[in-house]
Amino acid sequence: MFDFNFMQIVAGLPGLIIAMVIHEYAHARVAVALGDFTPKFTGRLTLNPMAHIDPIGLLMLFLVHFGWAKPVMINTYNFRNPRRDDILVSVAGPGANLITAFVALVLLLVYDKFVGGMSTGMYWVFRLIIEYNIGFAIFNMIPLPPLDGSHILKQLLPRELAYRLDGLERYSFIILILLLMTPVLSMILVPCRELVWSLFSLLLSPFF
């Protein structure tokens, strides 16, 4: 999912933690707003990293270039409109990552324009906050269980096909490893990442 060197490991740790925490907190916040208080009862309605970070998932990010946070438990039966609300909760995580990336980019450009003199280390911290949040948003929209994209697709599919999609979850880890060993994942992620950067540039071009 990501390329690492020593500098990125050091400078990228804040970005990884921010991306994971923001992503899971957004799921929890939207679920509670839509009537499911399970995330609140399980201690996930917080920005405390300890509530969201899975140590093994974080380690896997460094070892095999993709990882995970602790999934937020959701009970769709508590939603007023289960199909619609499950989609909204699923979109919330990637959406929050994109908003975080955009805000970080704005701060970086504002600092560069009005203050200047940012150190190389600080530049890379901001740059990797942006890149990792974009990466989390795109990666989690892949329609493979238990990623957010699969939740969205499942709610759009007929019940029988949705059930079959759920059955793929037992093979998800193997499928992701196989995808990482081939150019397929890059063929998906790289164009999407470039599209997001283009949209950000278009939005900010009148100001910077």
Q: Where are the domains of the chain?
A: 6-204
Under 8 Å between Cβ of 148 and 96? no
**Tally of residues, the chain:** 208
pLDDT of residue 58: 76
- Give residue 117's pLDDT: 81
Active site (catalytic) residues: 24
The predicted pLDDT at position 31 comes to 97
Calpha distance 30→12 (Å, rounded): 27
CB 192 within 8 A of CB 139: no
Query: Measured between alpha carbons, how far is 171 from 190 in angstroms, rounded to an integer?
Result: 24
Structure confidence by residue, pLDDT tens digits, 90-128: 999 999 999 999 999 999 999 988 888 888 888 999 999
